[in-house]
């Protein structure tokens, strides 16, 4: 029986509430062996760590670009202290979710860059992989990564990747894996589906970004929502069906895809190796 890794899953999100343990148990019954729970701000560092330990999952600590307006250098100092304190915690697997977001126009680009740059420095200092938010910002993220390549190169994941083939290749050359989730299930996502089908198999990892980025079967159009149909809530239990879609695009079995993407997740986040054996 194959095991899947959801490399990006916000199980601490308020959308899950008290249902969260049942949702995680449902995912486990569907062969989701491990979830990586990334923080988004210093205010949820403790919560993602707690969830990872309670559920035998993994976590990452970082400041999301959408949270940079409320963040300051004290938050970066706290992240530094939390990473140092967590170096003996095998469930701390990365610095994340960090990165740049060029989709939201009101965000201060200079402040985003400052926070991102400092978090990359911390990842280097503690020899941890990175989980990177790259929404409409792949080229800018790549420039930051190239400025401070660690000895041995970067490890980590370009989360929810939706760039060009050339950008994908550049990420891979720097040592990153590319995260594919619900967006790839939409038939109209031609470029993304082409990447999922044609990129080297060893470059791909799976994710849900729960509760966000619902797959096609959960998505409701604006008209449907206006008519009273609720938007489907994404959760890690959807990962096997997402895996089936990606496997179908590649012309391989879900078993083959699961084995490869689990192996890739461990390569991207090496601390998962010991956790997957527990």
For residue 36, what is the domain's CATH number?
3.20.20.140
Instruction: Please report the DSSP string for 13-45 in residue order.
Output: STTTGGGHHHHHHHHHHTTEEEEEEE--SGGGH
Please state, in angstroms and rounded to a whole number, the distance separating the CA atoms of residues 98 and 45.
13
Q: What is the pLDDT of residue 278?
A: 66
Q: 110-117: long-range contacts (C-beta < 8 A, 24 or more apart)?
A: 111/68, 111/69, 112/65, 112/68, 113/140, 113/144, 115/63, 115/65, 115/68, 115/71, 115/76, 116/65, 116/141, 116/144, 117/144, 117/147
pLDDT in tens, 102-123: 999 999 999 999 999 999 999 9
Smallest CA-to-CA distance from 7 within 255, 206, 171 is with 206
Distance of alpha carbon 136 from alpha carbon 124, whole angstroms: 24
Task: Dump pLDDT digits (tens) for 232-269.
Answer: 899 999 999 999 999 999 999 999 999 999 999 999 99
Q: How many domains does the chain have?
A: 1
Of 21, 36, 23, 26, nearest to 261 by C-alpha is 36
* Domain range enclosing 194: 4-277
Average pLDDT, 10 consecutive residues per value, the chain (278 residues): 94 97 98 98 98 98 98 98 98 98 96 98 98 98 97 96 98 98 98 98 98 96 86 95 98 98 98 91
Classify the phi-psi angles of 160: left when phi > 0, otherwise alpha if psi is within -120 to 50, otherwise beta: left
CA 175, 165, 64, 157 dihedral sign is: negative
């Amino acid at each position: 029986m194959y095991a899947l890794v959801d490399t990006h899953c916000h199980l601490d999100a308020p959308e899950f509430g008290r249902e969260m343990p049942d949702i995680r148990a449902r995912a486990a019954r569907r062969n989701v062996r491990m979830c990586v729970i990334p923080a988004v701000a210093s205010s949820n560092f403790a919560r993602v760590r707690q969830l990872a330990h309670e559920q035998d999952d993994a976590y990452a600590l970082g400041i999301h670009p959408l949270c940079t307006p409320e963040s300051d250098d004290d938050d970066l100092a706290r992240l530094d202290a939390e990473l140092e304190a967590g170096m003996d915690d095998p469930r701390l697997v990365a610095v994340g979710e960090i990165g740049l977001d060029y989709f939201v126009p009101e965000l201060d680009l200079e402040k985003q860059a400052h926070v991102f740059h400092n978090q990359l420095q911390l990842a280097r200092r503690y020899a941890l992989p990175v989980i990177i938010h790259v929404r409409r910002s792949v080229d800018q993220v790549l420039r930051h990564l190239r400025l401070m390549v660690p000895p041995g190169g970067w490890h980590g994941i370009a989360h929810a990747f939706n760039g060009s083939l050339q950008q994908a290749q550049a990420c891979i050359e720097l040592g990153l894996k590319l995260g594919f989730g619900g967006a790839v299930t939409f038939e109209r996502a031609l470029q993304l589906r082409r990447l999922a089908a044609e990129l080297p198999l060893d470059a791909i990892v799976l994710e849900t970004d729960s509760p966000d980025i619902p797959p096609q079967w959960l998505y409701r159009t604006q008209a449907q929502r206006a008519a009273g149909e609720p938007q489907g809530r994404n959760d890690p239990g959807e990962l096997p069906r997402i895996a089936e879609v990606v496997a179908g695009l590649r012309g391989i079995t879900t078993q083959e895809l699961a084995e490869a993407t689990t192996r890739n997740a461990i390569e991207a986040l090496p601390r998962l190796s010991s956790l997957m054996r527990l």
